[in-house]
Structure 1
Amino acid sequence: MTDKTYVEEYTAVVKTLSKYLESCAKADSSIMLTAFHADAAMFTVGESGVTRAPIQALFDGIDNDFKPSTPNSAVVSVDIVGTVASARVDSDNLDGFRFSDFFHLLKANGEWQIVAKTFHTHSTPTN
C-alpha cells in the first residue's frame, strides 16, 4: 500500500499546526515559517470590515508584539480530502488573548502547508 492513510495525513496536518502553536507560545516566528506557504494570507473582521494581511504581518506580530506565554490550545477539527485540508484551532491565554483560528492547507511536494488563516479574537473578560 503506497497511499498514506487518513491517520497518517491527520498526523502530518497536526504537526504543521503544531509549528504555528509552538511559534506563538515562544514568540518566535522562525518556528512557523515552514508551516506557511510563501503566498499565504490571513483574514479577520474588524470595525472597518474584512481585513486581509500578508502572512508576513503575522510573523512580524509574533516577533515584535507577543511575549512568550503558556496557551491552552486544542486542534478542534481537521478535515482532509486528498491534497486539501481545513482545521480549527482554539487557543486560550495566547499572550493574554483567546483565538479561534481556521486554517486552510494544501499538500504539495509531500508537505502540508498553510495557505490561509482566518481568525476570530474573542473578547477577554475583565476581572
Structure 2
Amino acid sequence: MSKPTYVQDYQAIVEVLNKYNDGCKQADSSIMKPAFSEQATMFSVDAEGKLAGGGIHNLFDGIDTAFQPSPEAQGAIVRVDIVGTAASARIDTNDVSGFCFTDFFHLLKVEGKWTVVSKIFHTHIAP
C-alpha cells in the first residue's frame, strides 16, 4: 500500500497559512511574517480599478498600523492545491478589523519549508 502523496505537505501549508490568519486576527505582523518570503509580493485592485500593491512589507505595515485585534475574526482555508514544490491556496476571512477578504496565496517549498511568495486579494464590500 502506498502512502498518500501530499498529506505532510498539506499539513505544513496549513501551519503556514494559520500564521497569516492568526496575525490578521491579532493585528500583529510579527505572527505572520514567518509565513512569507522576504521577497514576497502582495497585489489587489483598488477602488478605481487600478493595480495596487508591491512588496509584502505593505501588508505588514497595514496590519500593524491600520488594523485592530479582532477576536471575532474567522478565517477559513477553502482550498489548497499542491504539485511537487509549488502550491496555491485560498483563504476567506470575515470580520478582520471590520473587513472581509478573499486571499489567494502562491507558495513554494524552499529548502524543505513552505513559504508564501505572493498574495493577491479581494476586499468584499459590506452590504
Same fold (TM over 0.5): yes
Q: Quote the RMSD (CA, aligned, Å).
A: 1.4
Return the offset for 1:58: 0.5
| Aligned position for 1:78 | 80
CA–CA distance in 2 between the matches of 1:123 and 1:20?
A: 21
1:60-109 Cα offsets, whole Å, 9 max, x none, are 11111100002111100000000000000000111100100000000011
Q: Encode CA deviations 1:12-38: one digit per residue, 9 max, x unaligned.
A: 001000000000101110011110000
Instruction: Kindly tell me the number of residue pairs found equivalent between the two proteins.
Output: 123
Structure 1: runs of 5 or more not aligned: none
In the superposition, the TM-score normalised over structure 2's length comes to 0.92
Deviates more, 1:8-17 or 1:46-55: 46-55
2:111 equivalent among 109, 112, 125: 109
SS, match of residue 40 in structure 2: strand
Counterparts of 1:6-85 in structure 2, within 5 Å, are 6-46=6-46, 47-69=48-70, 70-85=72-87
TM-score (norm 1): 0.92
Percent identical across equivalent pairs? 53
Which sections of structure 2, spanning at least 5 residues, go unmatched? none
